[in-house]
Structure 1
Amino acid sequence: MAPSTAMPSGSGRGGMPMGQRSADARFIVMMIPHHEGAIAMAELALQRSKRPEIRALAEKIRTSQSQENSQMRQWYRQWYGTDVPAWGIGSGHGMGMGQGMPGMGTSLEALKNAPDFDRTFIEQMIPHHRMGVMMASHAEGNTQHPQLRELEAAMVRVQNQEIEQMAQWYRQCFGGSGS
């Protein structure tokens, strides 16, 4: 009998209740709605941005994070035998859009109504990406599945590159020169 099936019901590794999943499961449950928030912001940018470089970045974010969500959902079903549970506040975007999360600085509604969309998009996407980098960096050390650890490392690398690119655009477009 495998060790996990020999445990008394109601307990898991380390005496945690069975309802509490591994660090891998928690990361997936939290990262998917976070990605959904970035995807929603990117879709808005595809409609509203006046700058081709921001639209290109938005398309990259939408594509890569949709693929990552699909991969994480597949792994979750494979590893835990069930679909990823809904998590978050209200629309399901809890961490994704920072609802109820102090310091997140993102609001889809504020972005929709922003008079200077491109500036607001960058002002919101940078802290959103920073939160994603923090989540993935923190999770890497506790991740059990090597393929998830590789995905987390890629998230950190790509989102840090995107943060730097957006910060550069922000300085160029909205910096002290006003141009």
Structure 2
Amino acid sequence: MNNKIVFGIGGIIIGLVIAIFFTTTISPYSNAGFGMMGWRSNSGSNQGLTGNTQVANNIDRHFIEQMIPHHDGAVAMAKLALEKSKRTEIKTLATAIIEGQTKEIQDMEVWYKDWFGKDVPQVSTGMMGGGMMSSSGMHMGGQEDMTVLENAKDFDKAFLEAMIPHHQLALMMVRMLEAGSNRPEMLQLAKNITNSQSKEIQQMQAWYVQWYK
């Protein structure tokens, strides 16, 4: 598939997910006088402060519930890359993804328990996690995705076509977190994800052009 088409379709999908994230995250407070990121409308100042806190708390909760399965999908694909890839560059990237995102998963699980008093619920296959469709028609990180990757004629090409939009989606989720969270831990996590995955996207795009243009 032409690399412009690959990245273009990924962008369209990511745009659709943004709307879903905002709807599921903000809508519980839409009738309390708050706008998109919890900004107060014409309600009283005390209500606005409470509402902003509630919205920020809800954003943190929802982000963790969705980012953990999203990270799980990336880790699963990266582990497969260690087995199937023929390129040292891909294997080095896969190792970095496994180490970095596994640590982030562990951190988010601890925070969720501390802040919300329970373990992170298991999220069924859905738009923000394993069920997100990639530009190559696969569920990124889901069982179908793993099967397609495992049987791909050119594994490295299929891996890049799945992982690039997967990372792009993570960055969009992070931008929404930065706009709504007030917890230092979450804002630092957002910064870490942005730094690491932006660099990985650039590297993967460069490889794709170099190897498959």
Superposition TM-score, scaled by structure 1 size: 0.80
Offset at 1:112?
1.5
Q: Are the aligned partners of 1:104 and 1:128 in contact in 2 as well (CA < 8 Å)?
A: no
Q: Which deviations, in whole Å up to 9, do the C-alpha atoms of 1:151-171 show, x marking residues without a partner?
A: 112101211110000001111
Q: Distance in 1 between matches of 2:166 and 2:62?
A: 19
Structure-to-structure mapping, 1:1-179, within 5 angstroms = 14=51, 22-89=58-125, 95-97=128-130, 99=131, 101-102=132-133, 105=136, 106=140, 107-175=145-213
**Structure number with higher relative contact order (C-alpha < 8 Å, ≥ 6 residues apart):** 2
Structure 1 residue ranges (4+ consecutive) displaced by more than 3 angstroms after TM superposition: 93-96, 101-105
CA spacing shift, 1:49–1:102, aligned 2, 3 Å? closer
Number of paired residues? 153
| RMSD, aligned CA | 1.8
Superposition TM-score, scaled by structure 2 size: 0.67
| Percent of aligned pairs with the same amino acid | 42
Q: Distance in 2 between matches of 1:38 and 1:174?
A: 22
Q: Tell me which residue corresponds to 1:4.
A: none
Q: Distance in 1 between matches of 2:186 and 2:115?
A: 11
Q: Distance in 1 between matches of 2:186 and 2:135?
A: 24
Q: Which consecutive residues of structure 2, in runs of 5 or more, have no partner in the other structure?
A: 1-49
Q: Which consecutive residues of structure 1, in runs of 5 or more, have no partner in the other structure?
A: 1-12
Structure with greater helix percent: 2
